[in-house]
């Protein structure tokens, strides 16, 4: 399975890549499939059935919203996030959907959007089935699977997922292969990633696209630092980033650059992004929504506290190098384990984001390929076994603070790796396989179902 860095970094909407972005993509794909079959104009009613983790935590993750917006033809990267609530209210009031923006049908949410909390489709824990009817007869149905990070496969694609690929000139399926290719050609990991990206688009398009990704990340930090109020969902979680930003902004330049103060800023950056995510704001999957703050916070740390133009060169080139390196590492987890908390717990989200960020930061700070691999390994090794147990099925507690910890950990992992010569006991491939095995062994109640951990014990915490 060949993966582009732009599949790991996607502009989308909060609060979850697997439960919001993925279902929106799937629902939109369903109406596009209907149109391709010339059956959209015949459709009089649709049903969407959500299974497993999508059903158990779907309301808290905005899956219902995502499905409805997707059926109306919206995409996560272009939807007007400020109009979502008004559109949902209109759908409820008029009991009407406009399929793909063109076909009006009657829609009763309680009847036509069903949550099957005790049923898991065999292919994946994030499954959904869409059905279209005309005259009471089934016109067409298709199942889709949100496999993490906003990736979606239809039932047919799922059966052949290993065959869905763009031929890459320097494909690799393991860190060992990645390192061997780099050594053979004298490339950095970022340079290898760029050579493969050129199978999809030009080098300039890659650079411009990744800089645009950073601009959206940075905008989510900036917006999150100025928004106040209570996050939606019913937990009463208060947004804290604006208050922290106001207090930290009082510092002098000297105070701002003191060690522990820098960590305060890093935590603020991650906090701001994930509060935006929880509020259904515009964010970037990195590689998921639940972990969307780790990489932006780490890049912002580099931009504001490390980068020196005369020493490190053009900032755009450095950000691109960071993302290409991080993306190469993320691809390894995607190919050989998972980036879905519903499959392997939060080690597949925060853990992977931390590993990616560690590698990217080590790269732009001049690390060798061996030091970069070491940083990535450290970043995951100390997130192994991390569970996903969001209270109320919301991407808020412990998810928002968990991103701050992931970013700080990523910085420390990179610093540890750069202090060494790249030699280490545990290879990155081994820690990825360990993460996969740990995910298999993890009880399902700790995999984004809100049936265990903090999700059921918060009154005692």
Give the 3-state secondary structure of residue 171.
Answer: coil
Tell me the two tokens of residue 238: 């208060």
| Contact of 394 with 235, CB cutoff 8 Å | yes
CA distance 40 to 100: 9
What's the pLDDT score for residue 1? 54
Identify the CA nearest to 388 among candidates 455, 441, 330.
455
Taking 70 as the pLDDT cut, the residues of the chain under it are 1, 160-166, 459-461
Tokens 């995409």 correspond to what residue?
75
Whole-prediction pTM value?
Answer: 0.89
CA distance 227 to 244: 11
Identify the CA nearest to 237 among candidates 398, 447, 387, 85.
398
Q: Between β-strands 103-106 and 282-285, what pairing exists: parallel, antiparallel or unpaired?
A: unpaired
DSSP 18: I
CA distance 256 to 262: 6
- pLDDT tens for 182-208 read 999 999 999 999 999 999 999 999 999
Tokens 């998972």 correspond to what residue?
338
Q: Between β-strands 96-99 and 103-106, what pairing exists: parallel, antiparallel or unpaired?
A: antiparallel
Phi then psi for residue 230, to 5 deg, are -105, 135
What's the pLDDT score for residue 312? 87
What's the pLDDT score for residue 160? 64
What is each CA distance from 196 to 6, 123, 206, 266, 360, in whole angstroms?
12, 29, 11, 31, 17
Identify the CA nearest to 21 among candidates 237, 284, 397.
284
Tokens 């759908």 correspond to what residue?
91
What's the pLDDT score for residue 166? 63
């Amino acid at each position: 399975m060949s993966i582009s860095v732009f599949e790991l970094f996607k502009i989308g909407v909060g609060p979850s890549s697997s439960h919001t972005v993925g279902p929106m993509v799937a629902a939109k794909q369903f109406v596009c499939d209907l149109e391709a079959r010339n059956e959209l104009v015949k459709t009089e009613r649709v049903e969407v059935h959500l299974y497993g983790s999508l059903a158990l935590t779907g309301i808290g993750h905005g899956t219902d919203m995502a499905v409805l917006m997707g059926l109306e033809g919206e995409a996560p990267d272009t939807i007007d996030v400020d109009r979502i609530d008004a559109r949902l209210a209109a759908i409820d009031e008029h009991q009407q959907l406009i399929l793909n923006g063109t076909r009006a049908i009657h829609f009763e949410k309680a009847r036509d959007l069903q949550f099957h909390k005790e049923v898991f489709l065999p292919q994946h824990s994030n499954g959904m089935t869409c059905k279209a009817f005309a005259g009471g007869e089934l016109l067409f149905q298709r199942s889709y699977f949100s496999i993490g990070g906003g990736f979606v496969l239809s039932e047919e694609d799922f059966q052949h997922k290993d065959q869905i690929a763009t031929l890459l000139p320097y494909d690799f399926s393991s860190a060992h292969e990645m390192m061997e290719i780099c050594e053979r050609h004298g490339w950095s990991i970022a340079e290898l990633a760029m050579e493969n990206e050129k199978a999809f688009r030009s080098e300039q398009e890659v650079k411009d696209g990744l800089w645009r990704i950073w601009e959206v990340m940075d905008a989510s930090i900036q917006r999150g630092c100025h928004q106040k109020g209570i996050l939606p969902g019913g937990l009463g979680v208060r947004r804290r980033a604006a208050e922290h930003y106001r207090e930290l902004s009082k510092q002098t330049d000297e105070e701002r650059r003191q060690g522990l103060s820098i960590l305060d800023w890093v935590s603020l950056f991650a906090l701001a992004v994930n509060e935006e995510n929880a509020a259904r704001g515009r964010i970037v999957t990195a590689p998921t929504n639940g972990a969307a703050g780790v990489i932006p916070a780490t890049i912002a740390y580099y931009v504001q506290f490390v980068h020196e133009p005369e020493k490190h060169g053009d900032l755009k080139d450095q950000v691109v190098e960071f993302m290409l390196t991080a993306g190469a590492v993320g691809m390894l987890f995607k190919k050989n384990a998972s980036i879905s908390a519903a499959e392997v717990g939060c080690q597949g989200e925060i853990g992977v984001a931390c590993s990616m960020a560690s590698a990217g930061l080590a790269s732009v700070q001049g690390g060798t390929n061996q030091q970069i691999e070491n940083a990535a390994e450290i970043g995951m090794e100390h997130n192994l076994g991390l569970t996903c147990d969001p209270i109320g099925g919301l991407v808020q507690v412990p998810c928002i603070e968990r991103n701050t910890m992931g970013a700080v950990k990523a910085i420390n992992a990179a610093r540890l790796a750069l202090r060494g010569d790249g030699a280490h006991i545990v290879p990155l491939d081994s820690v990825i396989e360990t993460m996969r095995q740990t995910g298999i062994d993890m009880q399902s109640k700790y995999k984004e179902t809100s049936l265990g951990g903090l999700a059921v014990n918060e009154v005692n915490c």
